[in-house]
Amino acid sequence: MRHIFWAGDSTAACNKFATYPQTGIAQAFDRYCAEDVVIYNHAVNGRSTKSFIDESRLATIYDEITEGDYLFIQFGHNDEKENDPTRYTDPHGEFIVNLGKFVNVARNKKALPVFITSVERRLFDENGKLKPSAHTEYVLGMKEAAEKFDVPVVDLFTMSRQFLERIGDEASKKYYMNLAPGEALWAPEGKTDNSHLKYEGAMLYCGMIAKGLSELGEPYSTLIADGSYIDFSKDIELNG
């Protein structure tokens, strides 16, 4: 068996029944994987590179990951929290340093690191135009780290942003946790949440990651089951 260890925040984390229908990207990703791939999801709500390391979550991965495994590293949303010193990192300073620590954990255990840029939030203005992103500098920082540490990167941010720009405000609501009356079992009706994903959204963005991995070539492409991603450059209807 091959193993993917996933380090990240709430956009990737596993959800329990109480947060239905919220679904993390890493929670759904095995739907795209080859039969011999197992995912160990270490993503946790609210974590940045800094807090993930400070809470010894990276140390736990170090203890468990082994030769030939993969470490997917997906951060940015919470590194942006300027008013929270326990989480904030400078996108071109500490953020890059911290990403290097994740890379070192993987390579010290002869595993393969992969960077995944943040999924975009669905924030549209009154004219229906997607607003400028708060993620931009962290996406650039991750790409700087990718070059510095020679790590492949799947640019989920760009793919997700292009998709949101194409389908627009109303059509994109089905993928995010904007809940209509009667749509959730436990979450408040009408809750506004433009960051976290429903199952449809997790599957959508997992497909983009699968596409990115396939385009990286071996050995990353072999993680993905044959033909198991959608061409998101075309208009689609994803029903979950």
Contact (CB, 8 A) for 68 and 219: no
Tell me how far apart the alpha carbons of residues 132 and 130 are, in angstroms, rounded to a whole number: 7
* Strand spans (E) along 27-145: 37-41, 70-74, 112-116
Q: Is 228 exposed, middle or buried (0-12, 13-18, 19+ CB in 10 A)?
A: middle
Catalytically annotated residues:
10, 189, 196
User: d(Cα 222, Cα 157) in Å, to the nearest integer?
Assistant: 23
Of 89, 168, 95, the closest CA to residue 131 belongs to 168
What separation, in Å, do the N-terminal and C-terminal C-alpha atoms of the chain show? 27
